[in-house]
Structure 1
Amino acid sequence: MYQYDDYDRQVVQDRVQQFKGQMSRFLNGEIAEQTFLPLRLQNGLYLQKHAPMLRVAVPYGVLASTQLRKLAQIAKTYDRGYCHVTTRQNLQFNWVKMEQVPEILEQLLEVEMHAIQTSGNCIRNTTSDPLAGVAQDEVADPRPYCEIIRQWSTLHPEFAFLPRKFKIAVIGAHEDRAAIQLHDIGLRLVEQPGVDGVGPSGVNPLGFEVWVGGGLGRTPMLGSRIRSFLPQAELLAYLKAILRVYNRHGRRDNKYKARIKILVKALGIERFKEQVEDEFKSSSRSDHLLKPDELAYARSFFSAPNYPLIDPLEGEALLAEQRQQHPDFEQWLTHNVHAHKVAGYAAVTLSLKAVGRAPGDIHYRQLEAVAALAERFGFAEVRTAQQQNMVLPDVKKSDLFALWQALESEQLATPTQGTAADLVCCPGADFCNLASARSLPISAAIQQRLVDLDKLYRLGELSLRISGCINACAHHHIADIGILGLEKSGREFYQITLGGQSGNHSKIGKVLGPALAAEAVDGAIDQIFSVYLKLRLSAQESFAELFARLGVAPFKEAVYAQDH
């Protein structure tokens, strides 16, 4: 885990003091709201429906137990006891007082955290794989490169006021668990083979596959690949070239057409790529390239923990016995525990999807408990996930039963990861000024229809996401079943999309039909479930496969045949 040096601390401290002065002048009427707007946004402060919201940066989703305890203290002292995990791996406090925000930022500084660039027309938090560093399918750990991007992009004067917000995701695995095709820039670590399959040193040199122009919101688009291999040393020089082309030509007259995806579409991917390559060639002097010692320094913060050697067979008999004796434990192991690249270890999803609680919300007592569990069962590290859950990355298999019992007592062991009940949901109109409709009541109604785990597990892996407005903060376009809140004549309606996918085979979902009234949504979703269970060829045919085979027609017939 990266640790601040003296320079980092000074930069963040200066920023906190600067914002403290800006806040004081604003509250005293010396700064107009329009002038204060970009200042507060680039410090993560939003004005929500009922109270200000502060978004805290969690770079590439990595948190230390000490940071969790500080977040718990802030939730207890300055909020209403909760914080919220976002789909960009950040955390939000939804009930802060504006005049207390500088004090909160000072508290965050004590544990090397901040809220810089969590909003505004700048480069936002770089996201990554919540299993980074431990995934079995990993080519290389993406976290050092995420940290390099974070340091380069934070308070970068050239890119502080872009045409629109800008998002980057980096993965190092074969399976895309960070949705790189849905970002302004997506990066995948790959190896470049030489003529005989390896480079001159006998090892495949690392580089990046580069995707550009993805994004959801009002105009959802998948990114296009513009480089199949970019040497790792050229990473920042190439990112700079992309951003310079965007900064130069991106539209500033219409915020709905200001994202880089619109520029890529307008120019065409070949013309856009040509401009990027021209910019890259004109500016890629040696001082723009990452040097080997810089790469080694970044990697030094993410070296593997000192894993005690474990006999892979040790404890397997006991684990098998525990699975047999405790069906609930067996369900949790099946859905919330993931393979680890070190024998005898596993990664574990801590579910923030308990029935009756808003998806992604976590109470301060739970934060304190997770901090203690991270120290007891791991190396004092926790990850946030884009699916609004948390992950313990390094748990001994022999400790899984004890961990499960502890999580059960904290309501963090809901065995639904990857299922329809593991739904992703934005706060919606209950909190957000931008939202057209509420998301949380729809989420709660659907969750009630999925409390029968037998029914839930029959559905298999199935993604469901709910956004309260066209901004698509819950990424509903890329779910098997997506729900979008709309407002019509003062009433809330919901548009359903089907067939979206994330990961290596990303797709944008297709609209099912006319939007439905709020009271009809959960019943319609139940009809969609029933059609899927009835028409699939076998339990192994996924929702995506069935939708590709049959399309929208059978679902549309079932939903709109009902009297809603």
Structure 2
Amino acid sequence: MYRYDEFDHAFVSERVEQFRDQVQRRLSGELAEDAFKPLRLMNGVYLQLHAYMLRIAIPYGTLSARQLRMLAHIARTYDRGYGHFTTRQNLQFNWPKLSDIPDALADLASVEMHALQTSGNCIRNVTADHFAGAAADEIADPRPYAEILRQWSSVHPEFSFLPRKFKIAVTGAERDRAAIQVHDIGLHLKKNDKGEIGFAVYVGGGQGRTPMIAKLIRDFLPEEDLLSYTTAIVRVYNLHGRRDNKYKARIKILVHETGAEELARQVEAEFAALKDSELKLPEQDVEAIAAYFALPDLPERAEGWENLARWKKADPAFARWVQQNVQPHKNPDYGMVTISLKPIGGIPGDATDAQMDAVADLAEEYAFDEIRVSHEQNLILPHVALADLEAVYRGLVAINLAEANAGLITDIIACPGLDYCALANARSIPVAQEISRRFGSPERQAEIGELKIKISGCINACGHHHVGHIGLLGVEKKGAELYQITLGGSGDEHTSIGEIIGRGFEPDRVTDAIETIVDTYLGLRLEQSETFLAAYRRVGPQPFKDALYGSAAEAA
């Protein structure tokens, strides 16, 4: 895990004290809200529907036990005893007092954390595969490159005031678990015929008002050219991105209007002037950063296989949890554990201070002091010996976080929605809770299999509804909440944007509509192993429209 150097410590501490002074001036009336707004946004402070919100950066979703305990401390001390993990691998506190935020930021700085660039028209938190460094199918660990990009982009003088916010994601396995094709820049680590590390480069993806899938503009970018090529992309965007209309300001619109080939030509021309500059990455610098992310020394734990078989036979609930929430590690004596923050009927992505403290304890004792945050709003213990799985499971049962539903219908992504967000048109949380309760039976979930539901309370798509197998978008119509349903979306290596299936549903009819969709799928799948997404792509939307609306005319 990356550790701050002297510059990092000094810089973050100075920013905290600078913001403390700005807050005092705001509270005294010396600064008006209009003048204060850009200052608070630079420090991750939003003004939401009911209160200020503080968004904490968790670079590439990696935390230590000490850092997670600090987040628990902040939840207890400055908020209402919980935090909300987001689809950007960050954490939000929804109820801090403005006067307390500088103290919270100072506490964060003491454990090498901050809230910088979690807002504003800058390069936001760089995200990565939550199984990075541990996955059995990984080509290379993407986190060193995410850290290099973080260091390069932090308060970058040229890119601090872009036309619009800018998001980068990196993945290191053939299976894309970082949704890189719906990012402004997506980087897919790969090896060429010589075994050299490089990147496939995607540009112009995004969700929101105008969802688009990123275009591949470089099939293989050598590792040493990462910063120079990324700089070239952002320079072209900074020069030509629209500033007259915020709804058309993202790079995806520039790619669409310019054309991917022309944009790639402009990027290559800019890159030609940069590739031999000081931005070229020396191999020794890459190795130095990579050393921070070295795999822990994992002792042999061969007894785990025999113990695991015995425990699974004795406890069906534990067996379900292992099957659904534990993935293969590159070391066969270990597994990667998903801690579901989606208990049946719970609020997706929320964790209490007590739960965060308990997970930190488990990470320290059983997972080499490491926790990950996934963009699916769950936590991960990336290195757990099979021999320790039963102890970890019992610890999670004690804090109501042992739901065996990773990747299933109740593992719902949802934004905070109208319960918190001033931009929202509809509530995401109650809808997610009702769907979770309706499909909460372990047997029902197992029968349905992999199915990703994602819910956004407005067109900004913070809940990633566009890439949900089933997506729900809350809209306002004639003063009432309505939920539009999309089907067939996916955020993996075969990214697709969901299709709007027909007219929307009132809040009290949404869950019944989801049940109709699920029952239709179960009736048409060829075999139990055919997933919802595979079945939808095979048959198309019409059977689901017929089931929901009875006729194409009614769906219009």
Match of 1:249 among 234, 240, 247: 240
Match of 1:181 in 2: 181
Q: Secondary structure of the residue that 2:220 maps to in structure 1?
A: strand
Which whole-Å deviations, capped at 9, do the CAs of 1:327-384 have from their partners, x for residues lacking one? 0011001100010001200110011001232100000000110010001111111000
Q: CA RMSD in A?
A: 1.2
Match of 2:504 among 491, 501, 515: 515
| Alpha-carbon distance in 2 for matches of 1:278, 1:136 | 38
| Alpha-carbon distance in 1 for matches of 2:447, 2:358 | 32
Which has the higher mean CA deviation after the structures are superposed, 545-554 or 358-367? 545-554
Matched, 1:239 2:230: yes
Contact 2:301 2:386 in 1 (8 A): no
Matched, 1:107 2:107: yes
Q: Alpha-carbon deviation of 1:522?
A: 0.5
Q: Alpha-carbon deviation of 1:306?
A: 1.2
Alignment of 1:278-297 (within 5 A): 278-297=269-288
Match of 2:359 in 1: 370
| Alpha-carbon distance in 1 for matches of 2:38, 2:122 | 10
Matched, 1:492 2:481: yes
Which whole-Å deviations, capped at 9, do the CAs of 1:273-325 have from their partners, x for residues lacking one? 011011111222331201122111111111111111233xx232221121111
Matched, 1:424 2:413: yes
> What is the percentage of aligned positions where both structures have the same residue?
52
Matched, 1:66 2:78: no
| Alpha-carbon distance in 2 for matches of 1:418, 1:107 | 34
| Alpha-carbon distance in 1 for matches of 2:328, 2:204 | 32
Q: Secondary structure of the residue that 1:503 maps to in structure 2?
A: coil
Which whole-Å deviations, capped at 9, do the CAs of 1:142-196 have from their partners, x for residues lacking one? 1111110001101111100100000000011111000110000000111111xxx
Q: Secondary structure of the residue that 2:422 maps to in structure 1?
A: coil
Output the amino acid matched with 2:253. Answer: I
Output the amino acid matched with 2:322. Answer: L
Match of 1:7 in 2: 7
Which has the higher mean CA deviation after the structures are superposed, 232-241 or 24-33? 24-33
Match of 2:333 among 329, 344, 351: 344
Contact 1:351 1:389 in 2 (8 A): yes
Contact 2:418 2:427 in 1 (8 A): yes
Q: Secondary structure of the residue that 1:355 maps to in structure 2?
A: coil
| Alpha-carbon distance in 2 for matches of 1:234, 1:169 | 17
| Alpha-carbon distance in 1 for matches of 2:389, 2:538 | 39
Match of 2:429 in 1: 440
| Alpha-carbon distance in 1 for matches of 2:414, 2:202 | 26
Match of 1:218 in 2: 209
Q: Alpha-carbon deviation of 1:19?
A: 1.2
| Alpha-carbon distance in 1 for matches of 2:541, 2:125 | 36
Match of 2:442 among 453, 457, 464: 453
Match of 2:519 in 1: 530
Match of 1:137 in 2: 137
Q: Secondary structure of the residue that 2:118 maps to in structure 1?
A: coil
Q: Secondary structure of the residue that 1:25 maps to in structure 2?
A: helix
Match of 1:277 among 268, 282, 292: 268
Contact 1:310 1:343 in 2 (8 A): no
| Alpha-carbon distance in 2 for matches of 1:305, 1:243 | 35
Match of 1:550 among 536, 539, 551: 539
Contact 1:493 1:515 in 2 (8 A): yes
| Alpha-carbon distance in 1 for matches of 2:538, 2:365 | 48
Q: Secondary structure of the residue that 2:201 maps to in structure 1?
A: strand
Q: Secondary structure of the residue that 1:554 maps to in structure 2?
A: helix
Alignment of 1:446-485 (within 5 A): 446-485=435-474
Q: Secondary structure of the residue that 1:315 maps to in structure 2?
A: helix
Match of 2:259 among 268, 290, 305: 268
Which has the higher mean CA deviation after the structures are superposed, 506-515 or 28-37? 28-37
| Alpha-carbon distance in 1 for matches of 2:254, 2:449 | 39
| Alpha-carbon distance in 2 for matches of 1:317, 1:108 | 42
Match of 1:201 in 2: none
| Alpha-carbon distance in 2 for matches of 1:275, 1:136 | 38
| Alpha-carbon distance in 2 for matches of 1:302, 1:341 | 15
Output the amino acid matched with 1:541. Answer: E
TM-score (norm 1): 0.97
| Alpha-carbon distance in 2 for matches of 1:242, 1:34 | 32
Match of 2:530 among 541, 545, 550: 541
Alignment of 1:75-224 (within 5 A): 75-193=75-193, 198=194, 204-224=195-215
Q: Secondary structure of the residue that 1:484 maps to in structure 2?
A: strand
| Alpha-carbon distance in 1 for matches of 2:74, 2:391 | 29
| Alpha-carbon distance in 2 for matches of 1:541, 1:37 | 50
Question: Structure 2: where are the runs of 5+ without partners?
Answer: none
After the TM superposition, which segments of 4 or more aligned residues of structure 1 sit over 6 Å from their partners? none
Q: Alpha-carbon deviation of 1:561?
A: 3.6
Alignment of 1:390-405 (within 5 A): 390-405=379-394
Which has the higher mean CA deviation after the structures are superposed, 436-445 or 34-43? 34-43
Matched, 1:316 2:305: yes
Which has the higher mean CA deviation after the structures are superposed, 13-22 or 124-133? 13-22
| Alpha-carbon distance in 2 for matches of 1:237, 1:81 | 43
Output the amino acid matched with 2:144. Answer: P
Match of 1:359 in 2: 348
Matched, 1:303 2:294: yes
| Alpha-carbon distance in 2 for matches of 1:236, 1:87 | 25
Output the amino acid matched with 1:29. Answer: G
Q: Alpha-carbon deviation of 1:403?
A: 1.0
| Alpha-carbon distance in 1 for matches of 2:498, 2:358 | 38
Q: Alpha-carbon deviation of 1:28?
A: 2.1
| Alpha-carbon distance in 2 for matches of 1:133, 1:153 | 23
| Alpha-carbon distance in 1 for matches of 2:481, 2:510 | 11
Output the amino acid matched with 1:530. Answer: D
Contact 1:345 1:397 in 2 (8 A): yes
Which whole-Å deviations, capped at 9, do the CAs of 1:446-465 have from their partners, x for residues lacking one? 11111221111111001000
Output the amino acid matched with 2:403. Answer: T
Which has the higher mean CA deviation after the structures are superposed, 554-563 or 494-503? 554-563
Q: Secondary structure of the residue that 1:407 maps to in structure 2?
A: helix
| Alpha-carbon distance in 2 for matches of 1:242, 1:496 | 34
| Alpha-carbon distance in 1 for matches of 2:297, 2:310 | 29
Which whole-Å deviations, capped at 9, do the CAs of 1:200-236 have from their partners, x for residues lacking one? xxxx111111000000000000000010111111100
| Alpha-carbon distance in 2 for matches of 1:465, 1:286 | 43
Q: Secondary structure of the residue that 2:158 maps to in structure 1?
A: helix
Contact 1:381 1:393 in 2 (8 A): yes
Contact 2:345 2:434 in 1 (8 A): no
Match of 2:495 in 1: 506
| Alpha-carbon distance in 2 for matches of 1:347, 1:233 | 31
| Alpha-carbon distance in 2 for matches of 1:33, 1:280 | 41
Q: Alpha-carbon deviation of 1:387?
A: 0.7
